Amino acid sequence: MTEHKKEEERIEVRFTLNGQDVDCTIAPMQMLLHLLRDHFLLKGTKPGCEEGECGACTILVNDMPVNACLYLAANAEGKRVWTIEGLGNGQDGLDEVQKQLVAHGAVQCGFCSPGMAMAIKGMQLFQQRTQQVLDRAAIQKWLEGNLCRCTGYVHIVDAAERLLQQNHG
Ligand code: FES
Ligand code: FES
């Protein structure tokens, strides 16, 4: 196959996106971040470093957080993909993760917030699945891949801790 033909190669991918079955044709090396933003116009998943360092692009795949900037869209085949748009919004109502972030003043510029909210949602689902109690140290560890330049993290961790305590209490 010539290089030119390789560049033109396209593949089909089918997955569930925020509860809806979707399918599309993609380049084999397309990252899920750009498929979400450019094809599905879901702009809440943020392009930050695009190197797996900042967590701004965090989404859930089969209920676990992944960096969409490093996740091949082809690998979403048959999986459940969940973005911030599927979590909640001002019109249809906020998810309890978002409510806790707001209640604790954990959102400033907001650039990290969608990724942070999805990482916390993943943590909540993990706690529910495993029945493990995640303490403050475990929450900090879980969130260490999500960078925030504004808040100093304390209010974000407070919000996550409150959420997990509520869910366990
Ligand atoms: S944009 Fe994906 S980790 Fe920074
Ligand atoms: S609120 Fe600004 S980067 Fe986190």
pTM of the predicted model over 0.75: yes
Which pLDDT score is estimated for 90?
81
Distance (angstroms) between ligand 1 centre and the Cα of 65 equals 12
Distance (angstroms) between ligand 2 centre and the Cα of 110 equals 5
156 has pLDDT over 60? yes
Residue of 146, 149, 157 best suited for mutating to test ligand 2, as the one with most atoms within 8 Å of CB? 149
C-alpha distances out from residue 41 to 15, 133, 145, 163, Å: 16, 36, 25, 30
Q: Is 81 helix (H, G, I), strand (E, B) or coil?
A: strand
CATH (domain of 75): 3.10.20.30
Q: Is 138 exposed, middle or buried (0-12, 13-18, 19+ CB in 10 A)?
A: middle
Residue of 49, 98, 108 best suited for mutating to test ligand 2, as the one with most atoms within 8 Å of CB? 108
Distance (angstroms) between ligand 1 centre and the Cα of 25 equals 23
Count of structural domains, the chain:
1
pLDDT digits (tens, 9 = 90+) for 4-58: 555 579 999 999 999 999 999 999 999 999 999 999 999 999 999 999 999 999 9
For ligand 2, which residues put their CB under 6 angstroms from it?
A: 107-113, 148-151
Distance (angstroms) between ligand 2 centre and the Cα of 98 equals 14
For ligand 1, which residues put their CB under 6 angstroms from it?
A: 47-50, 52-57, 67, 69
Encode burial over 73-107: b for 16+ CB neighbours within 10 A, e otherwise: bbebeebebbbbbbbbeeeeebbbbbebbeebebb
pLDDT digits (tens, 9 = 90+) for 43-101: 999 999 999 999 999 999 999 999 999 999 999 999 999 999 999 888 889 999 999 99
Which pLDDT score is estimated for 155?
97
Residue 58: which domain range?
A: 3-168
Q: Which residues pair with 11 in a beta bridge?
A: 26
Distance (angstroms) between ligand 2 centre and the Cα of 56 equals 10
3 has pLDDT over 70? no
Residue 127 structure tokens: 């706690």
